[in-house]
Amino acid sequence: MNILIIGKDTQLLWPQHVKDACDNLGHKNKLFLFNNLGIADTVRSFAKKISPALSEKFVARQLKKSLEKFKPDVVILISAFFIPESLYEAVLDYKKALIIGWSGDGFDKTVESKAQACNKLYCTDSFFVERALSYDWAQTSYLPLAFNEKIFYKLPNNIRNNEIVFIGNPDKNRTNIVDNIKTPLSLVGPKWNLPNNTVHSVIKKSISINEVARLYHNSFGVLNIKQESNVVNGLNMRSFEAPACGALLIHDNVKDLKRHYISSEEVVVYDSISNLNDILSEIYIDTKKYEKIARQGQERCLSEHTYTHRLKNIL
């Protein structure tokens, strides 16, 4: 089976993770990153300076060439509603592939033409599955994010520090929670600005995905605070990448979490800032209890939540 993966090159590497899953399953595959075309990207960048429309036409032509040369049986559109309309047109003109969209963000009915172009549409958040079905997009179903086992994995005889880490940029919700946490956290992200009297430490920069994995391997726990702009019920990459590395996952109580982990056995769940402060205090009192939760969370994650598992579901 030939699989073409179309997406945008970002720090999250979602299209690249799906490509690795294709490799793991032995499917011939090709990655088309519409903002990073390799050798041809010089032309794209030059065209964009002249006219964004000209650049988009150039990218669409490059995609048409890839479709005709590679002849995919399946096209997977990562962050489906952020794919330019011109690339949808190119895929639809090809007419020989099953079109699968995978969306990790919120949307409304303005993207209906893109949704209807997909033979199957997957959303990482059950809230948006329900929204899509309310629009009569019957081909929609739930498929969460996952982790790439080439980057996030079990490290034998791993020695951890006692830090609780949060990697991500602030928003109003995250800042409010962090400001009210009494236990010191290690915050990583270029946009954190905290007062001088904060108990937390800050690494004020963007880090590579390999550095993310290193921190997850080294830290006792990883805090999850959802980004309210694009998450309602769903889980994010952190929800799988951290436990894959054996870190204790301390997760906000989102609706979809119970689909994937057992609370207090495989993950620690908090409902409020007060509850979170109690949990963070207890972690250092009853460390063995939380080490066991982390181990069980890792076992669940490794056995069910890789991108290879997700791709099997899709195909």
Mean pLDDT for the chain overall = 95
Give 117's pLDDT tier (boundaries 50, 70, 90): very high
What residues contact residue 267 under an 8 Å CB cut-off, 6+ apart?
243, 249, 250, 251, 257, 261, 293, 297
Q: What is the CATH number of the domain that holds 50?
A: 3.40.50.2000
Is the model's pLDDT at 176 over the cut of 90?
Answer: yes
Question: Does residue 152 belong to any structural domain of this protein?
Answer: no
Same domain flag for 88 and 189:
no
- Report pLDDT digits (tens) over 200-225: 999 999 999 999 999 999 999 999 99
Same domain flag for 104 and 198:
no
- Report pLDDT digits (tens) over 286-300: 999 999 999 999 999
289: its two tokens: 């209890």
95: its two tokens: 């007419």
Question: Does residue 158 belong to any structural domain of this protein?
Answer: no
Same domain flag for 180 and 95:
no
- Report pLDDT digits (tens) over 65-84: 999 999 999 999 999 999 99
User: What mean pLDDT do residues 228-240 have?
Assistant: 95
Is the model's pLDDT at 46 over the cut of 90?
Answer: no
| Short-list 226, 184, 188, 223, CA closest to 204 | 188
User: What mean pLDDT do residues 124-142 have?
Assistant: 98
- Report pLDDT digits (tens) over 33-44: 999 988 777 778
Q: What integer pLDDT is reported at residue 118 of this predicted model? A: 98
User: What mean pLDDT do residues 148-177 have?
Assistant: 95
Same domain flag for 99 and 67:
yes
Question: Does residue 150 belong to any structural domain of this protein?
Answer: no
Structural contact between residues 99 and 80, judged by C-beta atoms closer than 8 angstroms: no
Same domain flag for 228 and 267:
yes
Which structural domain range is residue 181 located in? 164-306
Is the model's pLDDT at 54 over the cut of 90?
Answer: no
Structural contact between residues 248 and 289, judged by C-beta atoms closer than 8 angstroms: no
Q: What integer pLDDT is reported at residue 242 of this predicted model? A: 98
